[in-house]
Structure 1
Amino acid sequence: MTDTDWGALAQYWLDRLAACSEPGPGVTRLPFTPEHRAALGVLTELMEQAGLGVSLDAAGTLIGRLEGPAGAPALLFGSHQDSVREGGAYDGIMGVVLPVLALMKLRQQGVTLPFAVEVLAFADEEGVRFPTALMGPRALAGTFDMAALGLHDQDGISLRRAMEDFGLDPDALPGLKRDPAQALGWVEIHLEQGPVLAVAGQNIGIVTGICGIERHMVTLTGKAAHAGTVPMHLRRDALAGAAELTLVAETLARDTDGLLATVGALHVRPGVVNAVPGEVALTLEIRASDDGVREQAGAALTQAAHDIATRRDLTLQIARTYAQPATPCSPQVIERLSRAAETGNRAEVPRIASGATHDTSAMAALCSVGMIFTACRDGVSHHPDEYVPLAALNAGILTLERFLKQWQ
């Protein structure tokens, strides 16, 4: 095979995996289901063709392992096999297929490595079936909360029961914890899920880190009133205050490098066409790869909410309900990945932060981590139209191949 054929081979396997789905648009493949079982069968076939030994651990993680010298640590690759409902054919699963094909390519060249390599297909990253996520990498890092086994899906089936019905032993999860000394590092390749690379005309980007996230619940209370009888200067319009806060958040994020701010949900009362809104509850989410930037923005927007409420004679309730720190990628891994990517590019490969959470965020508790992004058409993801061009698939495989060769 020529170098340009590997992207087409990746698409062949991704098409087969996309067929492991519930009926309907796109790909729907939830953990511990017949569709999950079918995907494991296809991945096992692929891994065995690449010369990997294949096993399934107690978390439902499929592991393809290339043995190295006795006692040598393992370099870890992978992503998740599950999808959102009516999602795409690349999110997660591409990060399993491409490293296996890179190892297949090295095998054809007769290349041997001074360490073991594992490619991991985690069972559940999306958290769609059960209200938890990242079980596979958290088990490896020793951070999985066993209480999550009692969580239920919409049919009332507990995570514990679903795993047992799948032939797994949930009580064995604590024993999956890896020795950090035996983990050389972790790399995940994932479609960008955004338009930056596509707009830049680049197939590959190197991730600098995964954004930290914080969420605030905000309630502004004014006075509901008749829309036709209360003059504008006498109104205590809660929605007008919420709109002002939304624009303040947008302006701050536009003016602050690396900051994202979103008002994603609004609940307006009384919510009728001829009444001044008396109460608005809204969500404010803030993301940044720098925790200091994120926390400073949270403080600034909290103060802005107080100022708006005072000026508009509104009552304010605001509370931070969730906070997740950023996950920086290892500078050493970033440099190695950048060298591997730039070998095959005429221009400098972009370095960008990930605004979405990935398995990498949990693996960081075990070892040094890195990520590669591939371009995706129009930045679309979590949708049936999700698509990674063949050139980007091919570039991903070649980047992984060169990255692995650096360690010879």
Structure 2
Amino acid sequence: MSQQPPHATFAEGKIGQYLLNRLDEAAQYSQPGAGVTRLFCSTEHRQVLPLIEQWMTRAGLTPELDAAGNLVGRCPKALSGEPTLIMGSHQDSVVEGGKYDGMLGIAVPLVALETLRHAGVTLPYGVEVVAFGDEEGVRFPTTLVGSRALAGTTESQQLEARDKQGISLREALRSFGVEPDGIPALARDPANTLGFVEVHIEQGPRLEQRDHAVGIVTSLTGIERHQVTVSGKAGHAGTTPMPGRHDALVGASDMVLAVDRVLQATEGLVGVVGQLDVHPNAVNVIPASVTFTIELRSPQSETRQQGHETIRAALHEVAERRGLTLSMDNTYRADGAHCAEWIMRGLEQACATLEQPTERMFSGAGHDGLAMQDVTDIGMLFVRCKEGLSHHPDEHISADDGEVAVRVMMEFLQQLDPSRCR
């Protein structure tokens, strides 16, 4: 692990590289292969925790692993129950993702707090930085497990979700060393929570096109996910006549194209068929069943609902025409979230103090704020990423932009008046 940094680390022009070095170190805790693969309650998740604990300790926070698999760092004021601002992001990644998605939002506030601590600055309110265990929803067919726990909106059926090995989320948490029965007690008190602020790479090209280091997020997209199962009839690939076959994969392929047609024709709606599993998945057997996922995104719930209904009708038409059976189950839904005006203004003022140009912009991605909006005001600072690339091994930010993000957060924290929140 990194040694205690020298004082020169906190000089202007040095903090950005310090931040990137941290992110490089965290990226080592990954499954073998390209990019970063670090799933919820995995060995890699367990291995990265001591590193983040070290970051938290240097920032003057006391780390604790909670019942939902979140690593939470609190300052003395937060531990004593004073009004608290929550910051943070997620430690988990997609498969073969990048080193900045999620982890940047953990590292930036901790470097900001460490730098303020080095300068002798004491904030007049509590701060809490959370490394959420799960946001991507890759291992289990559920997501925002950690932030829903803090918001007090975890549902019991979430804990029964199972990964591809048949392990339930409840079992995985217990194997990880925490007790999921304690999740309800994690809910934060809205009256004592000042807000939730997250730093994240933009995951799009707008900041790069504007030549801006950072941007102020106005709202987060709404998301829904569905699992579709198409059932047909298996048979010998060489002896079953082509006419009259009930090939689940051929039908599912038709359905995937139908989903794409709806998405292409519906303004304000985007989506993807991201996973597809074939059974029995043998070279000489007609596929008996196919399971695939559909994800729909739009800031407008009415648009998502319309798209969902149109897609459902199209899939049933394919199933009927091809003699297949179909089930379509909703596995996740989160409405869009609007960022609080006072947080947006505070981030804008911090940018202005640093003479950093910025503008307000919408996020087409979902984030932990979708859950945290149920307990407190939310806000988000975007950081420019090269070519707008994300969920990819080549995602990248510069040291200069990383330093801007840290210094914006430092200004925001110092200018925040807890009596004027909301």
TM-score > 0.5 by shorter chain: yes
Among 213, 219, 240, the alignment partner of 1:209 is 219
Distance 1:147 1:106, change over 3 A: same
**Counterparts of 1:248 and 1:55, CA distance in 2:** 46
The one-letter code of the counterpart of 1:36 is: H
In 2, Cα distance between equivalents of 1:147 and 1:249: 30
Structure-1-length-normalised TM-score: 0.79
CA deviation after TM superposition for structure 1 residue 296, in Å: 7.2
2-structure distance, mates of 1:172, 1:203: 40
Name the SS for the 1:44 alignment partner: helix
How many residue pairs match? The answer is 366
Equivalent pair of 1:130/1:151 in contact (CA under 8 Å): yes
The whole-number CA distance in structure 2 between the counterparts of 1:30 and 1:251 is 34
TM-score, with normalisation over the residues of structure 2? 0.76
Residue 5 to residue 346, structure 1, CA distance change in 2 (3 Å): same
Q: Which residue of 2 is the match for residue 361 of structure 1?
A: 370
Which residue type is aligned with residue 20 of structure 2? Q
Are 1:5 and 2:5 matched, yes or no?
no
Aligned match of 2:234: none
Q: Which residue number corresponds to residue 93 of structure 2?
A: 83
Shift of 1:138: 0.7
2:89–2:105: 8 Å Cα contact kept in structure 1?
Answer: yes
C-alpha spacing 1:213/1:176, structure 2 compared with 1 (3 Å): closer
The answer for the alignment partner of 1:276 in structure 2 is none
2:161 aligns with one of 137, 142, 151: 151
Q: How far apart, CA to CA, are the structure 1 residues paired with 2:224 and 2:184?
A: 29
**CA positional deviation for 1:330:** 0.9
CA distance in 1, matches of 2:255, 2:182: 52
Q: Within 1, Cα distance between the matches of 2:259 and 2:159?
A: 39
Query: What is the match of residue 3 of structure 2?
Result: none
| CA distance in 2: counterparts of 1:149 and 1:245, whole angstroms | 30
What is the deviation of 1:148?
A: 2.1
Matches for 1:317-332 after TM superposition, within 5 Å? 324-332=334-342
Note the 1:90-105 alignment, pairs <5 A. Answer: 90-105=100-115
1:190 to 183, 191, 200: 200
Per the alignment, residue 394 of structure 2 pairs with 385
Q: 2:403 aligns with which of 386, 394, 402?
A: 394
2:374 match: secondary structure: coil
Residue aligned with 1:207, SS? strand
2:35 is equivalent to residue 26 of structure 1? yes
User: Which runs of structure 2 are paired with 1:166-245 in the superposition (5 Å)?
Assistant: 166-213=176-223
Return the offset for 1:27: 0.8
Would you say the 8 A contact 2:269–2:307 is kept in 1? no
Structure 1 equivalent of residue 350 of structure 2: 340
Q: CA RMSD in A?
A: 3.5
Cα deviation code 1:252-295 (max 9, x no counterpart): 53xxxxx243575899xxxxxxxxxxxxxx99865333445656
Aligned sequence identity (%) = 42
Aligned AA (1:384) = P
Contact 1:67 1:115 in 2 (8 A): no
Counterpart AA for 2:392: H
Aligned position for 2:174: 164
Contact 2:16 2:403 in 1 (8 A): yes
5+ residue gaps, structure 1, are: 220-225, 227-238, 254-258, 268-281, 310-317
Give SS of 2:212's match: coil
Unaligned runs of 5+ residues in structure 2 are: 1-9, 231-242, 244-252, 277-291, 318-325, 418-422
Give the letter for the 2:182 counterpart: A
Cα separation, partners in 2 of 1:215 and 1:342, compared to 1, 3 Å:
same
**1:130 matched to 2:140:** yes
Greater Cα offset, 242-251 or 332-341: 242-251
Query: Is the CA contact (8 Å cut-off) linking 1:340 and 1:403 kept in structure 2?
Result: yes
Cα shift at 1:297:
7.4
CA contact (8 A) 1:289 1:328 kept: no
Name the CA distance, whole Å, in 1 between partners of 2:54 and 2:275: 48
Displacement of 1:66: 1.5
How far apart are 1:112 and its partner, in Å? Answer: 1.2
